[in-house]
Amino acid sequence: MLDLSFEPPKPKVIAGAKYDWELVIGMEVHAQVASQAKLFSGASTQFGAEPNANVAFVDAAMPGMLPVINEYCVEQAVRTGLGLKAQINLKSAFDRKNYFYPDLPQGYQISQLYEPIVGEGEVIVDMEPGVARLVRIERIHIEQDAGKSIHDMDPAMSFVDLNRTGVALMEIVSRPDIRGPEEAAAYVTKLRQILRYLGTCDGNMQNGNLRADVNVSVCRPGQYEKYQETQDFSHLGTRCEIKNMNSMRFIQLAIDYEARRQIAILESGGTVDQETRLYDADKNETRSMRSKEEAHDYRYFPDPDLLPLEIEQAWVDDIAASLPELPDEKKARFVKDFGLSEYDANVLTADTQNASYFEAVVADAGDGKLSANWVINELFGRLKKEDHDITESPVTPAQLAGIIKLIKSDAISGKIAKDLFEIVYTEGGDPEAIVEERGMKQVTDTGAIEAAVDEIIAANPAQVEKAKQNPKLAGWFVGQVMKATGGKANPKAVNELVARKLAE
Amino acid sequence: MTDLTKMKVAEARDALRKGDVTSVQLTESLLSAIEGADALNAYVHKTPEIALDQAKAADARIQAGDAPDMCGIPMGIKDLFCTKGVPSQAASRILEGFKPEYESTVTTKLFDAGTVMLGKLNMDEFAMGSSNETSCYGDAVNPWRRGNDDALLTPGGSSGGSAAAVAADLCLAATGTDTGGSIRQPAAFTGITGIKPTYGRCSRWGIVAFASSLDQAGPMTKDVRDAAIVLEAMCGQDAKDSTSADLPVPNFEAMLTGDIRGKVIGIPKEYRLDGMPAEIEKLWADGIAMLKAAGAEIRDISLPHTKYALPTYYVIAPAEASSNLARYDGVRYGHRAKLAQGDGITEMYEKTRAEGFGHEVQRRVMVGTYVLSAGFYDAYYNRARKVRTLIKKDFEDVFAAGVDAILTPATPSAAFGLGEMTEADPVQMYLNDVFTVTVNLAGLPGISVPTGVDAQGLPLGLQLIGRPWEEGDLLNTAYALEQAAGFVSKPTKWW
């Protein structure tokens, strides 16, 4: 397999009033499994349904109801583990995490504390071409989501919506390998990209289908390296956990705020309390949610309603064989096969749909670089203007390839190509036919071009004199000729002719 | 006409087929017996209309031919089973007014086979108790009395209502559940037969959970043959219960040959307790002699971890219960406390659960919460899990050495008086389970068979413990014991 080599980025350093500080960040990302049915009940997971419409007896924790594992969700967790190059545990088990809350009908969440289904893996987090952070994954386990409590609909009552209760989540736990706010956001971005490639989570952060708990601590430069050597956490600072972040921007703001808060405490001689905090986006600050002393005692124990989950290596192998090409491999291939820059390859592989659109274009039009330019600059730029994504593109890969082929055969100029693209984008149609019908074909007939050049030169003797002094002014003549030919003249031919005539 | 209420399941089945009796007739006589037996407080919710509808349907099915064995047989159902549209409260105030919109798998199987439901039976609250004194419906009463003494006795627990109803001929059979002895102990206290099958034989779906790794449903019947018939109708794999076993259900009744020649019966020395009443000693010795006479080989065995079974059970069962009962929070169904101005969610939980749960349930929830809490988990729960593995291994070892079944007393005494233990240390009550909890911890099948009476004429039972999944063989050994013991006593009707 082709590898793009990379250097690790420098950790972010925050200058305090007295010292420099570094950040150490670990994340727990909760990714909703892309599944039609919940983890332990057959109820639907459809987003946006009427409150309490997607609730089975199991989800409502009616007496005597029992959970039955949804095999599809297990498969998605295994697929995710394989995508993160992680250890798949053929035997895992479910535990109950006990606490009381109205949106948790059972009074416990079924999770996997002691024996998770996925063990150690890794994610390469791209920062810029040639620079990436390798973040180690500690584990992935599957668990139930909770419902939603609504406190602002009535002054005296709270309401509960159990639609989300029991939906399958994958909790992806990283090691504390992330060293700054930008890296944290990039980590979530990369994870999201991989999940979407795998199809195991739709990555919709707005709907809460992907959210992160961020553990932040600060330490003096040099301490992290000691931790790395020994894996002894005592070299690191006390961490605080910021719960439930579902925006890349807020993740960065919250980490930055939290790091500065901890630094201020430490520099004034205080100690950071280990606690759970919430980020308030309106005020851009984190607030204590509960201290270590107030932390729940979850009384985890093996769920006696579920047998240990045993899967077979052959099944895992089948899933592995069905994995799609993942972003890192695709990117490397784009660089190698199409001669793209790593930057362009990154942009095109950000999403499988972008990548397959590009591949369809390049397969038809040839010329990877030109195709990449047109997809990234023209198409993506145009789509972005209207807030559309690639799936909503009015221009098909065949149409775009058609335009590119016309450029390559010198049938149209780059400038005309942009006009043609706009026509195809707004009106549709076959690019070649449009060029024919609307007379957009480039004039390569040097006789016709020469006549136009002669005409302009004859009409502007003063300009000719100036241009003879300063050859840079030749561009003005080129522009005039292009204007006179309605942009259809072959610019290369015009340039050559203008230069020759001015030199006469 | 003979008293139909005294019929056994097998007799009734045959009589129904011959047309000697109809299910409606059977049902009507039982309903009228139930009406006259309120003093026993066995039924907490009577369902005569459902019963008669089911009986009529059963009669039609029998007439059409090809009806299953249980068709038309009137049974009582322990209140722990969720029965659709019928109050199902696990004898707890916290489930006040709860009528499930679903039917448990076990009752579904029974009803699909044509069984008639006479009503819901009393029990200890959430099946926690050994005397049926923790029920929110009040005590169920044992139809047996000590000689001429009219002191009320316990039918045992937690399936006390089931035991009383079967013993007093208020149904032909009843469902029970057994987490630590809740079928076998009340069966022994009331002179009937009760089998707890192998863990995983009966689906737990729709049965209110007490301790999920220990709970099993089973039948309580007038004799071993009936136990075989009813068990067959109750058990079988269920996709809705991940812990139910995907094994075929044999024809248990067909295995009742009474021939146990060459079978090896183990007698565990650890079950010979200090201070065990002489009557129990004698009952056990008699049982050994009977099996030996029937051609079995008697072998002394050791189950060395037996002495840890009771403490292990009283860690694991409350731990699971504390979690299983968390769902009774007043939010979605059942009892919710009236709240004072300014009360929030915490007060709602506290008041609801304080009002809804009885003392024994509260005690076990607190014990369970304690043994699972940080800092105590390893010392209690985890250690108990390890000991449980050792207890299971004790059994595996003796079975591997060729033992077919193990004979022990079912209970350390005959039925005691209601209220007699009220002032006692709760551990005294827990000691009732000393012979039965090992079977639940090991997930094995166990059956209690009445084989004698004590000096005051109260029934006493012996327990047989079998190999996993070999209920048929176990029932056959029990059948041989029953034949040899010839226990036919019935309580004298006083209610």
Each of the 504 residues of chain A gets a pLDDT tens digit; together they read: 456 689 999 999 999 999 999 999 999 999 999 999 999 999 999 998 999 999 999 999 999 999 999 999 999 999 999 999 999 999 999 999 999 999 999 999 999 999 999 999 999 999 998 999 999 999 999 999 999 999 888 988 889 999 999 999 999 999 999 999 999 999 999 999 999 999 999 999 999 999 999 999 999 999 999 999 999 999 999 999 999 999 999 999 999 999 999 999 999 999 999 999 999 999 999 999 887 777 789 999 999 999 999 999 999 999 999 999 999 999 999 999 999 999 999 999 999 999 999 999 999 999 999 999 999 999 999 999 999 999 999 999 999 999 999 999 888 888 889 999 999 999 999 999 998 888 887 776 777 788 888 888 888 888 888 888 887 888 888 888 888 887 778 878 888 888 888 877
| Minimum mean pLDDT range among A452-461, B83-92, B217-226, B482-491 | A452-461
B158 counts as catalytic: yes
Interface subset of B 397-426, CB within 8 angstroms of A? none
- Give the gap in angstroms from C-alpha A334 to the nearest C-alpha of chain B: 47
Q: Cβ B243–A105 below 8 Å, yes or no?
A: no
Catalytic residue of the set B78, B196, B222, B351: B78
Determine the pLDDT at residue A3: 62
Interface subset of B 241-260, CB within 8 angstroms of A? 241-243
What's the order of all strands across the beta sheet hosting B264-268?
A: B43-46, B116-121, B74-78, B173-178, B216-221, B193-196, B446-453, B459-466, B405-409, B264-268, B297-301
Q: Of the CATH numbers 2.40.350, 3.10.100, 1.20.272, 1.10.10, which one belongs to the domain with range A446-503?
A: 1.10.10
Determine the pLDDT at residue A494: 84
Count the neighbouring beta carbons within 10 Å of the beta carbon of residue A492: 12
Contacts of B212 in chain A (CB under 8 A): 304-305
- B275 pLDDT exceeds 80? yes
Cis, peptide link before residue B158, omega less than 30° from 0: yes
- Are the beta carbons of B318 and B213 closer than 8 angstroms? no
Nearest to B442 by CA among B493, B396, B477, B494: B396
Contacts of A65 in chain B (CB under 8 A): 205-206
B282 counts as catalytic: no
* Amino acid symbol at B75: M
pLDDT band at B271 (very low <50, low <70, confident <90, very high): very high
pLDDT band at B256 (very low <50, low <70, confident <90, very high): very high
Buried b (16+ CB within 10 A) or exposed e, A349-368: bbbbebbebbbbbbebbebb
B56 counts as catalytic: no
Q: Check if B372 contacts A (Cβ < 8 Å).
A: yes
Where does CATH 1.10.10 sit in chain A? 446-503
Catalytic residue of the set B182, B203, B244, B448: B182
Q: If phi over 0 gives left and psi between -120 and 50 gives alpha, with beta otherwise, what is residue B224?
A: alpha
| Minimum mean pLDDT range among A72-76, B62-66, B359-363, B438-442 | B62-66
CATH dotted code for B4-247+256-262: 3.90.1300.10
Q: Check if A150 contacts B (Cβ < 8 Å).
A: no
Contacts of B242 in chain A (CB under 8 A): 66-69, 305-307
- Are the beta carbons of A30 and A210 closer than 8 angstroms? yes
Q: Check if A301 contacts B (Cβ < 8 Å).
A: yes
Buried b (16+ CB within 10 A) or exposed e, A86-104: bebbeebbbbbbbebbbbb
Determine the pLDDT at residue A1: 42
Question: Using CB atoms, which residue from B98, B243, B377 is nearest to A305?
Answer: B243
Q: Check if A323 contacts B (Cβ < 8 Å).
A: no
